[in-house]
Amino acid sequence: MHKHILLLSLGLSLLLSGCQQPAEKPTAAADNFKTYSAEEFFQTTSVFGSSINHDQTAVLVSSDESGIFNAYKVALDGSGKEALTHSTDESIYVNSWFPNDDRILYNADQGGNELDHVYVREEDGRVTDLTPGEGLKASFAGWHEDDQQFYINSNERNPKFFDLYRYQVDDYTREMVYQNDSGYQLGDISPDGRWLALSKTNSNADSDIYLVDLNDSDAEPQLIAGDAPEDVAHGIYTFTPDSQQLIYGSNANSEFNQAMAYDLADASHNVSYTADWDVSFTYFSEDGQYRVTGINQDAQTVLDIVNTETGEALNIPNLPAGDLRGVNFSDDSSTLVFYLNSDTSPSNLYTYTPGDNSATRLTSTGNPDINEDHLVAGEVRRFESFDGLEIPGILYKPKQAAYEQVPALVFIHGGPGGQSRFGYSALTQHLVNNGYAIFKINNRGSSGYGKTFFHLDDKKHGDHDLKDVVYNKKYLQSLDWVDADKIGVMGGSYGGYLTMAAMAFTDEFDVGINIFGVTNWVRTLKSIPPYWEAFKKSLYDELGDPETDGERLYNISPVFFGHQVKNPVLVVQGANDPRVLQVESDEMVEAIRSAGTHVEYLLFDDEGHGFSKKENRIQASQKYLEFLDKFLR
């Protein structure tokens, strides 16, 4: 349905040094905020997970308050939390409580290599790897409605494809219930365990949905959506709690993904939910009393929570400003939990009983020493690119811009096909708080703005999307509070690629920060992990096949043109990254350095594609600011 997402405390005088200043700086503006260090911004806690246990006394979450993600039990009565795991090496990502006791399921990989295993933690603390073996990748896939069985996807049999296994709750014995020999992507399983939804990628614009009857060992997947003559993208959302319908997404009749309902009894298709933006997801409380639908509205998720019995929207009164995320209900829908997040406040967990006057906050994830009034909320801005196309993004204007021109950064998201979205980012707030304007561009090819916009960059990478980045710079230069001579570019993953492309193929930007960005498309597309096989064709349709498009891929790969980089670059990389191999960054650094241009390299030996350890995130954010202060400010 979506493109794979390849994804210092300074005194005010130091902060403002080297910037153009008015003849007389307003004292009130200078005293109206303070700057904070990376350590202070990352003293916030990241937390996620919303599974409610069997007796409705606690929520299962992952939290990095120890410096690395571990599992915690958070009491619903607000009395506190308990650490369930004590990992110091690998981040632990929670999945679910067991339905009738306080055992938990969680995932963890090895040093960021993305080869997750699924583990069970017993109530006494013992841990068992449910998916042992070398080189495999596994994920939790859901519960059977009888509460005696659960499902796990694993590629242990064939590294290219994931099979479905059903495990028993009591002794963890298992059996394979679907052997995937045809490259399907496994989707949702009906609550009664009979139906498995599968998707098949035909191209980066066309995908189909199939159903297979797990009660019939000889059954073949049956196509239920995807026989239209034109390209249509379909995505699996969920089965209804009664196992009678599959809710799926389709852009057949709109620029945007709309929710459709397929009736398993009569094979009819009906519109389930429509919006003027993408319907990103829909799901139900376990008893079916509530339906939660998410709409991707201009880089912000808007939730519609409806009581399916009355048709009335569930509104939670007296909430602070922010977006709801991670809504989950208890088995009987008498209690729900959710997160509230904003640009200036990290996600906090709340609980609410429908009908009450207010929700109860269960966590305090912000740093109490940081005044939220000193932080900056983003706002949607749009500008015209080289061909007149309107490009959206999110602009963050530093407090310092009230009294002087500030340097600016074009920040590019990962992907290709990702989207920069509203929400708290310690990295963003750290740089903005220290005087850097940031425009998070959603260049052509980004998701969330319709299928036409989504495909405008197909096989035009390093060209049309790069021109969007350049015209973003021109837009920033048009703002009277931006220093037009001090504009840099930065991004991660695919955004790291476009950063290096901007530095190698244009002379527009004064500095570049490449965070694990692809620099050699020929190698990257030849060395993708085997478990990407199911959507490899989609990737090739968009970017090119290295066997047939090798020349074009070579010509858009910055590593071969490092000698053209004229301005300072910072490269940041995880040694265990399976998507962008370390050799990519090693060679990019050497190519720049050999031409005599200044380049700095920060390598984390214990990270992969993204940095899960807090100390590493702090070090990276400190390095970004030091580099920018030295070469851009």
Kindly report, residue by residue over 344-379, the tens digit of the pLDDT.
999 999 999 999 999 999 999 999 999 999 999 999
Residue 282 reports pLDDT greater than 80: yes
Residue 338 reports pLDDT greater than 50: yes
Tell me the average pLDDT across 329-357: 96
pLDDT in tens, 507-539: 999 999 999 999 999 999 988 888 888 878 888
Q: What percentage of the chain carries pLDDT values higher than 70? A: 95
Short-list 279, 303, 270, 307, CA closest to 291 = 307
Residues 6+ apart with CB under 8 A from 373: 33
Tell me the average pLDDT across 139-155: 98
Q: What pLDDT is attached to residue 348? A: 97
Helices 426-433, 614-631: crossing angle, 10 deg rounding: 30
Other C-beta atoms lying within 10 Å of the C-beta of residue 36: 23
Return the ∠ at Cα 332 (arms to 279 and 263), rounded to 5°: 45
Q: What pLDDT is attached to residue 531? A: 87
Nearest-angstrom CA–CA distance, 626 and 619 = 10
Q: Tokens for 288?
A: 């079916």
Q: 31 pLDDT band (50/70/90 cuts)?
A: low
Residue 447 reports pLDDT greater than 50: yes
Short-list 436, 424, 426, CA closest to 396 = 436
Mean pLDDT score of the chain: 93
Residue 227 reports pLDDT greater than 90: no
Q: What percentage of the chain carries pLDDT values higher than 90? A: 89
Residue 27 reports pLDDT greater than 60: no
pLDDT in tens, 552-574: 999 999 999 999 999 999 999 99
Residues 6+ apart with CB under 8 A from 134: none
Question: Would you say the pTM of this structure is higher than 0.85?
Answer: yes
Q: 33 pLDDT band (50/70/90 cuts)?
A: confident
Tell me the average pLDDT across 140-154: 98
pLDDT in tens, 479-492: 999 999 999 999 99
Assigned CATH for 12-41+369-631: 3.40.50.1820
Q: 122 pLDDT band (50/70/90 cuts)?
A: very high
Residue 4 reports pLDDT greater than 80: no
Nearest-angstrom CA–CA distance, 135 and 141 = 20
Nearest-angstrom CA–CA distance, 369 and 43 = 9
Residue 427 reports pLDDT greater than 90: yes
**Domain ranges, ordered by start, for the chain:** 12-41+369-631
**Secondary structure (3-state) at 5:** coil
φ, ψ for residue 534 (rounded to 5)?
Answer: -65, -25
Residue type for position 203: S
Other C-beta atoms lying within 10 Å of the C-beta of residue 45: 18
Residue 541 reports pLDDT greater than 90: no
Q: Which of 10-24, 132-146, 289-303, 450-464 has the lowest mean pLDDT?
A: 10-24
